[in-house]
Amino acid sequence: MANLSITTLCNKTCPYCFAEDSRQPYSKKGAFMSEAVFDAALEYLARSGIDQVRLLGGEPTLHPQFNRMVDKALERGFQLMIFSNGLMPPKVQERLRRIDPGEVVILLNTIHPLEADPRRMRRQQRTMEILGPRVMPGVNIYSRRQELDYLLPYVEQYQLIREIRLGIAHPVLSESNVFLHPKFYKEIGLKILDLLHKARALDIELGFDCGFVPCMFPEAAAEELGEMLQRTGSCCHPILDLLPDGNFISCYPLNNLLKLPLQADTHAQQLMETFEEKLAPYRRFGIYDHCAGCPLLQQSYCNGGCTAFKMNRLRHRSFAVPIDGMAPLLVE
Amino acid sequence: MSKQNRHSLLATAPSHILWTVEHNGIRIFNRQSDRHYVLEYPAAAVWDLLIRKRSIAQLIPILRAIQQVSAGEAVALVQQCLKDWHQQGLIEIEEPDGESVDHHPVQ
């Protein structure tokens, strides 16, 4: 897996945006991935045996060469996944509409009713109407107040892909974004379970992004959740996001941890190993203060949730305590 | 200033030492070596009090109360903690002017 972040520009200002740290250093001019970097990225994907091009941003459809990038990817036989907010230019809608639904998935990050943005919601719904079976609806959960049922009618009304993608808003290392604190995970777990019941009754599946943990769901639901539960616990791993300037990061929230350049011989497996090595010290504890003693962590059934949150749990507070009165502390 | 002058020495936590409170103690992470340490009670209490800027003089009676030990035993506990942490690189012993006196093991 590897995501190509082709632009840092966006036409929304989501309070939870976890691309925030990675967007900061770019001027408007430097906000777009060049064609040369994009071509090199396609080479890298092919070399790594990856058959899917995943375009994200910012809002990737704002890249002036977006349609051309889509053409190039399809000509080389890649599947396409596009992470979009659906507020895309008409010429992009038209290009995507001409792609066979089997070749493209547009993961549409829906505007939650809590955002109270009816104008943009209507634009999103228009995109769903036009692109229908190419669209998988999703939502990022950043508040305990978010209800999730509003997604189900979209699937029916616009004949979307029958899967809903759920994500949790995680903190970036600078903690400059709004995120869902793990103390609310159990509350959200109940809402997800409720959504699951309603979705399954309509033959709709749920999919989880990274950072969910098994203990956010009631133990009694373990059988019902089945394999989904195990996938939730094990899915904090390097995603490999390629930034517009040609540098890889592990994932958006960990933008400040380590950057590795895309080179002529870069291979996804090698990148993954390097990032995993960097993350390994953070596998021994979790997002909660009781994670380290949890059998699920010890048995690697769960890796303790979002690494960015774990890293933010670690603090430095200096102290300088005079050690007067201690028995001889130094020896010659 | 002599390094043997005990009144001139400070115990400090270097900037690469990070920590967090866990269910069973305090987890300390050395960002330079990527090593973890879990301080269990009562060492965790000593660390916590030092982080809260308590002086040794303030720390001893607190430890006496929570550990039900004599003043001498409380002093010995603090000494042992400082010795262990210094050897593990979790703290530095330095003079007030900032000069490190590392590599001098605590007795």
Work out the average pLDDT over A139-155. 95
- Predicted local distance difference test score (pLDDT) of residue A26: 57
Chain A residue numbers touching B38 (CB-CB < 8 A): 292
A304 pLDDT above the threshold of 50:
yes
A295 pLDDT above the threshold of 60:
yes
Please return the burial class of A249, using the count of CB atoms within 10 Å of its CB with bins 0-12, 13-18 and 19+.
Answer: buried
Among A316, A325, A329, the residue with its CB nearest the CB of B106 is: A329
- pLDDT tier for residue B3 given thresholds of 50, 70 and 90: very low
Structural domains in chain B, CATH included, are 6-94 (1.10.10)
Q: For residues A325 and A273, which has the higher predicted lDDT (pLDDT)? A: A273
Residues A97-111: tens digit of each pLDDT:
999 999 999 999 999
B contact set with A (CB within 8 A): 3-4, 6-7, 9-13, 15-24, 27, 29, 34-36, 38, 50-51, 53-57, 75, 78-79, 82, 93, 101, 104-107
Please return the burial class of A320, using the count of CB atoms within 10 Å of its CB with bins 0-12, 13-18 and 19+.
Answer: middle
CB contact under 8 Å between A285 and B3, yes or no, is no
CB contact under 8 Å between B11 and A319, yes or no, is yes
The region, left, alpha or beta by phi > 0 then psi within -120 to 50, assigned to residue B28 is: beta
The nearest CA of chain B is from the CA of A256 a distance in Å of: 15
Question: Which of A69-73, B1-5, B15-19, B101-105 is the least confident region?
Answer: B1-5
CB contact under 8 Å between B79 and A314, yes or no, is no
CB contact under 8 Å between B93 and A323, yes or no, is yes
- Predicted local distance difference test score (pLDDT) of residue A114: 85
- Predicted local distance difference test score (pLDDT) of residue B57: 87
- Predicted local distance difference test score (pLDDT) of residue B100: 62
CB contact under 8 Å between A319 and B12, yes or no, is yes
Respond yes or no on whether ipTM tops 0.90. no
Q: Which long-range contacts (CB under 8 A, 24 or more apart) does A178-181 make?
A: A178/A15, A178/A16, A178/A142, A178/A143, A179/A16, A179/A18, A179/A142, A179/A309, A180/A16, A180/A141, A180/A142, A180/A143, A180/A144
- Predicted local distance difference test score (pLDDT) of residue A262: 97
CB contact under 8 Å between B6 and A325, yes or no, is yes
- Predicted local distance difference test score (pLDDT) of residue A241: 95
B107 pLDDT above the threshold of 60:
no
Q: Residue A241 in contact with residue A6, Cβ under 8 Å?
A: no
Chain B: residue whose CA lies nearest to A281: B34
CB contact under 8 Å between A314 and B12, yes or no, is no
* pLDDT > 70 in chain B, percent: 80
Among A313, A320, A328, the residue with its CB nearest the CB of B10 is: A320
Class for domain A3-313, per CATH?
Answer: alpha beta
- pLDDT tier for residue A235 given thresholds of 50, 70 and 90: confident
A21 pLDDT above the threshold of 80:
no
Residue of A46, A50, A57 lying closest to A85 (CA atoms): A57
- Predicted local distance difference test score (pLDDT) of residue B102: 54
